[in-house]
């Protein structure tokens, strides 16, 4: 065995350039694997964080009938006494905040905006005192400020503001139907523009104080949701059950961010599947390269093969020798690939790719704005390293088998 290993590694030096080119192909494949995996993992980690920080919170208490009617954003399917729930949760060390979400028409007048117009919007009414305990909007204000508790004012997502040409001090009118079905028109001043890492929020956000919304919409203290913040390390499903039991109210339900973001998770899963296909093709190309290199190496040494077989070396040992050689190429390729992967990962983790200018208006499913950053995944690097060696070794089996089908005299005559 020692001889076979020694022979295999010495043979690697026989055609240095070819060995390096093949190892380079493996290295490129592995680097791409590490790079794309890092990118996807980074996207997922950041998307989940941005979902929880700016959209769904960790979990949400809803009226049990609300979720199935959520696209209508009904105000009458609500939580009648959200403050008692928040208080109950607070006593158990859980931070929570109430919100009212409603849909309406945003009316733009020519006085501020240059021309009249309207568009459908979703408005979120927040409790300025408690909202920042659960969501992370406090550091996202780009211009202006958040509205006071009882101020007829809104903050707006930066992309939305840019799209409609809104600036601080402009007035907008929101027309909607209040709790009970009456029409209500609210004149609001834009006092702040928010830019947060979640593109969905930047694209659609209009936020106003809950006290003002309560009065306009005749909510009488009710809210459409109570959002909950849980520690990052919490077992979210177990916590949801615990909170449900804690609240002990039949008409309320607690949903985890995973349930609420099921569409996002499905998209992420599908993207991962698509990326796996691309990676499979990259590996396939590398495997064909290795197979071809081994085929050339074997057929250039057919006479040597004949000599070794004449002297009594078994086909099995010859196959092992060539597979060791291929494993050697795989080892060099894997080392190069992992090093390149680490280098490119270092760059993608620390600097990232700024895709904002290209994809700003395109919803790619991930809740990541402008800069995509990777994440370190040492498990993937380990898998890539061993997969490189394993695939190289495996693909050498077939050309060796083919060469060994030749009879020994033909091998010895081979030119």
Partner 1 sequence: MIAVKDVKRIYKTGETEVNALRGVSLNIEKGEFMSIAGPSGSGKTTLLNLIGCIDKMDEGEISIKDVAVSKMKKKEKTNFRRENLGFIFQTYNLIPVLTAYENVAFVLSLLNLGEKEIKDRTMAILKEVGLQGMEHRRPGKLSGGQQQRVAIARALIKNPEIVLADEPTANLDSDTGKEILGLMKQMNEKHKTTFIFSTHDKMVMDYASRLVMLHDGQIQSDRKRRE
Q: Which residues bind partner 1 (CB under 8 A)?
A: 2-3, 6-7, 10-11, 13-14, 303-304, 306-307, 309-315, 317, 407-409, 412
Kindly state the smallest distance separating residue 392's Cβ from partner 1, in Å.
Answer: 19
Backbone angles phi, psi at 209, to 5 degrees: -70, 140
Helix (H/G/I), strand (E/B), else coil: 404 = helix
Kindly state the smallest distance separating residue 25's Cβ from partner 1, in Å.
Answer: 23
| 266: its two tokens | 């499905």
- Strands in 230-384 per DSSP E: 252-256, 353-354, 371-372
Kindly state the smallest distance separating residue 306's Cβ from partner 1, in Å.
Answer: 7
- Residue 143 belongs to what H/E stretch? strand 141-144
Kindly state the smallest distance separating residue 305's Cβ from partner 1, in Å.
Answer: 10
Question: CB of 229 within 8 A of CB of 89?
Answer: no
Question: CB of 306 within 8 A of CB of 414?
Answer: yes
Our CA dihedral for 124, 127, 131, 137, rounded to 10 degrees, sits at 60
What is the pairing mode between strands 153-157 and 206-209? Answer: antiparallel
Question: CB of 129 within 8 A of CB of 161?
Answer: no
For partner 1, the closer CB: 168 or 307: 307
Kindly state the smallest distance separating residue 328's Cβ from partner 1, in Å.
Answer: 13
For partner 1, the closer CB: 129 or 303: 303
Kindly state the smallest distance separating residue 312's Cβ from partner 1, in Å.
Answer: 2
* Rounded Cα gap, residues 353 and 348, in angstroms: 7
Question: CB of 146 within 8 A of CB of 155?
Answer: yes
For partner 1, the closer CB: 383 or 412: 412
For partner 1, the closer CB: 279 or 313: 313
* Rounded Cα gap, residues 85 and 78, in angstroms: 13
For partner 1, the closer CB: 10 or 145: 10
What is the DSSP annotation of 20-33?
HHHHHHHHHHHHHH
Q: How far is CA 36 from the centre of its chain?
A: 11
Helix (H/G/I), strand (E/B), else coil: 326 = helix
* Three-state secondary structure readout of 223-240: ECEEEEECCCCCCHHHHH
Kindly state the smallest distance separating residue 17's Cβ from partner 1, in Å.
Answer: 15
| 193: its two tokens | 């523009």
Long-range CB contacts (within 8 A, 24+) of 265-274? 267/365, 267/366, 268/43, 268/44, 268/47, 268/365, 268/366, 271/40, 271/365, 272/40
Kindly state the smallest distance separating residue 298's Cβ from partner 1, in Å.
Answer: 14
Kindly state the smallest distance separating residue 18's Cβ from partner 1, in Å.
Answer: 14
* Rounded Cα gap, residues 403 and 408, in angstroms: 10
Other Cβ atoms within 10 Å of 311 Cβ, number: 7
Kindly state the smallest distance separating residue 393's Cβ from partner 1, in Å.
Answer: 20
């Amino acid at each position: 065995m020692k001889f076979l290993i020694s022979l295999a590694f010495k043979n690697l030096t026989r055609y240095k350039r070819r060995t390096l080119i093949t190892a380079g192909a493996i290295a490129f494949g592995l680097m791409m694997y590490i790079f794309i995996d890092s990118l996807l993992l980074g996207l997922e980690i950041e998307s989940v964080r941005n979902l929880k920080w700016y959209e769904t919170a960790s979990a949400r208490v809803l009226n049990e009938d609300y979720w199935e009617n959520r696209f209508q954003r009904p105000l009458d399917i609500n939580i009648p006494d959200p403050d008692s729930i928040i208080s109950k949760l607070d006593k158990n060390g859980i931070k929570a905040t109430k919100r009212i979400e409603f849909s309406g028409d945003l009316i733009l007048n020519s006085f501020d905006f240059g021309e009249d117009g309207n568009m459908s919007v979703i408005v979120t009414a927040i409790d300025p005192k408690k909202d920042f305990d659960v969501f992370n909007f406090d550091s996202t204000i780009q211009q202006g400020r958040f509205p006071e508790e009882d101020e007829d004012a809104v903050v707006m997502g930066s992309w939305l503001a840019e799209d409609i040409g809104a600036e601080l001090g402009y007035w907008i009118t929101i027309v909607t139907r209040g709790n009970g079905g009456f029409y209500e028109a609210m004149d609001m001043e834009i006092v702040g523009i928010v830019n947060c890492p979640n593109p969905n929020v930047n694209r659609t956000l209009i936020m106003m104080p809950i006290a003002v919304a309560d009065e306009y919409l005749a909510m009488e203290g009710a809210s459409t949701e109570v959002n909950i913040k849980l520690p990052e390390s919490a077992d979210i499903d177990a916590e949801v059950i615990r909170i449900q039991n804690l609240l002990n109210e039949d008409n309320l339900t607690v949903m985890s961010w995973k349930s609420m973001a099921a569409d996002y998770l499905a998209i992420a899963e599908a993207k991962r599947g698509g990326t796996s296909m691309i990676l499979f093709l990259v590996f396939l190309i590398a495997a064909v390269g290795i197979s071809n290199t081994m085929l050339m190496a074997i057929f250039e040494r057919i006479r040597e093969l004949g000599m070794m077989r004449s002297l009594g070396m078994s086909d099995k040992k010859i196959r092992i020798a060539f597979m060791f050689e291929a494993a050697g190429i795989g080892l060099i390729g894997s080392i190069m690939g992992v090093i390149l992967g680490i280098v490119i990962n270092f760059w993608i983790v620390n600097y990232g790719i700024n895709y904002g200018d290209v994809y700003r208006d395109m919803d790619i499913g991930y809740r990541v704005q402008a800069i995509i950053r990777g994440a370190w995944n040492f498990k993937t690097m380990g898998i890539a390293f061993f997969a490189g060696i394993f695939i190289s070794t495996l693909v050498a089996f077939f050309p060796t088998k083919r060469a060994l089908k030749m009879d020994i005299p033909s091998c010895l005559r081979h030119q």
